[in-house]
Amino acid sequence: MAFGASLAGPFVFDDFSLLNDPAVASRSGWWQCFRFLQTRPLTWFSFWASYQFGGENPIAYHAVSLMLHIAVLALLWDVLRKLIPERAAVIAAALFAVHPLVVEPVAYVFARGALLATLFSLLAIRSWIADRSGIAVVWFTVAMLAKEECAALPVFLIMLDFARGKELRRRPIAALLTIALLMRVRVILAAASVTGSQAGSQAGISPLRYLAAQGQVILRYLRMLIVPWGFSIDYSSTLPPLALALAACAAVIALAMVASLRFRNLGPGFWFLAGLVLLSPSSSIFPAADLANDRRMYLPLIGFSACAGLLLKRLDWRVLAAASVVLIAITMRYDTLWRSPEALWTNAMHAAPEKVRPRLQLARLAPPAQGLEILREAQQLAPENAEISMEQGRILLENNRPAEALAAFGKAMALSPGDARPVNNRGAALAAIGQPDAARADFLRAVALDPCLFDGRVNLARMGIQWRAPDNCRYTDKQQQILVRATGP
């Protein structure tokens, strides 16, 4: 009932990048998922498997996400009932099952990594409390291969043993911490080497400034946990004033100190602190361009839901049932948003009116005239953003206005001189107005900037020019077929 609408949802935003990723959309791509600089290799391998079985049909991907959420829920119940009273475990599992905070991980195909990492993290926890430490290390390694944001799980396991009065298991803990460290180092290297990763050194924000902003972000998460409203695919990235940021961080520290008073015997305080610990990899010093997003709360919700279950266990069942109905209704409302990209990005634009990304997405979905108007608004917000000019040029070119498109692509080139895409696009506009020589020059310049540029190679092939790409260029099977057709016999 809560998540059925997501099954009929389309691909959204980064989902489309999967369909153009050779590691996903090629029959031989499975081995590319495990390249050294490929983050979340297990998740990418699962996308490769989904593509081989379901192609570009989104319902197959959404069905996997929903089944993974159900599997996580079953494991969560199995783990919690061994650690806290059964009534509290039931409440915690019910909260985790239908809370609006889990809409994005379930409805957003690209967020599958959060589901897989949580699934294998719970398997690690279950093995740990059964004193099968070696198996727990294996499950944790698999979880890290799904998504590296579960790196704080070893700290949670240390806390778990301490709160239960058990001795520290030095060797397994050392193995877990070593795996976490090595995997995180790999993520840092990948973020630094992959152009456009929007993480680490490419996040556009310093680690300390990102850390200072996370106090306010964590308080927002906690507020939405209690008052489940105001969710969005794209939150504001406006940095709070330093004084407000420090006050928010102080408030989070104060909450943690209060929680520590009820830490022993796996009390509510332990589970609140567990939620903060599990959140720490994405809300600490490793910066990302997005200060917040809902899918980062999927794993930490294990701790926060258990805390809520213990605090609410004395409430009457009728009150709890009524609260569940309200949660399901809110979740259905946000889940339904994911069926309509227009509604989803309109909601995001209202949540973050200062951001360009929601307007860019809306412009791609709107009729041409409306799309151009949306882009004009976006240009007022960010006049130096080359993506806006490129999107304007695309709309104009597709609607037989190549002369105007030429100017838009020229502006994009000026704003982003090292980017091959606007150069190639300007070549397409020049070809459309009957200037083949100038177009050919732009296509050649584009592939000189990016020798693997697929659109540039196709455009040159259509003009009868064969461009020998480097051996390390990677294309999907569909792109390879297009290149063969463009090249001719």
Contact 361, 341 (CB under 8 A): yes
- So what's the pLDDT on residue 28? 86
pLDDT tens, 50-74? Answer: 999 989 999 999 999 999 999 999 9
CATH number of 356-487: 1.25.40.10
Burial per residue of 239-256, b for 16 or more beta-carbon CB atoms within 10 angstroms, e otherwise: ebeeeebeebbeebeebe
Burial of 205 (0-12, 13-18, 19+ CB in 10 A): middle
Give mean pLDDT, residues 452-475: 87
Give the predicted TM-score (pTM) of the model.
Answer: 0.94
- So what's the pLDDT on residue 24? 94
Going from N- to C-terminal start, the domains of the chain cover 4-340, 356-487
- So what's the pLDDT on residue 425? 96
Which pLDDT band holds residue 471 (cuts at 50, 70, 90)? confident
**Ramachandran sector of residue 235 (left: φ over 0; alpha: ψ -120 to 50; beta: rest):** beta
Q: 420 pLDDT exceeds 60? A: yes
